[in-house]
């Protein structure tokens, strides 16, 4: 009986974790679309080839590994609201980490392109 209870508790904990992760992702995408619909700067940090295969309207393509250099070259204010996205949210997270280290303060990781397009508002 104790083993059965332990198994059920473990399963419930896993289900709660999965639901929390899904809710967090939906929130990330919903926040991104609220910002996008309000006209914030949108940066696609994927490769030029990925960008050419489809991207959010009006997004700029700045690969994640040159984000700081390009933000500086473009004169993007360090407190400007910017939504960044990639394929999964990983590269946009890396770009945000580098940009934050460089002093940018108002960045949002919109996650992955497909997820954003699924949540498009």
Catalytic residues: 86
Beta-carbon count within 10 A of 114 CB: 12
Question: 């933000």: which residue's tokens?
Answer: 71
The 8-class DSSP code of residue 108 comes to E
**Residue 59 burial by CB count (10 A; 0-12/13-18/19+): exposed, middle or buried?**
buried
């Amino acid at each position: 009986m104790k083993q059965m209870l332990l198994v059920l508790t473990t399963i419930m904990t896993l289900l709660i974790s999965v639901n929390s992760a899904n809710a967090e992702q939906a929130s990330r995408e919903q926040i991104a679309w609220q910002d996008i619909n309000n006209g914030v700067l949108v940066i696609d940090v994927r490769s030029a080839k990925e960008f050419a295969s489809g991207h959010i309207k009006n997004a700029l393509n700045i690969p994640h590994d040159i984000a700081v250099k390009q933000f500086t070259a473009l004169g993007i204010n360090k407190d400007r609201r910017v939504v960044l996205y990639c394929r999964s949210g990983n590269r946009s997270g890396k770009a945000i980490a580098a940009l934050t280290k460089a002093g940018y303060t108002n960045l949002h990781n919109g996650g992955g392109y497909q997820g954003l397009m699924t949540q498009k508002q």
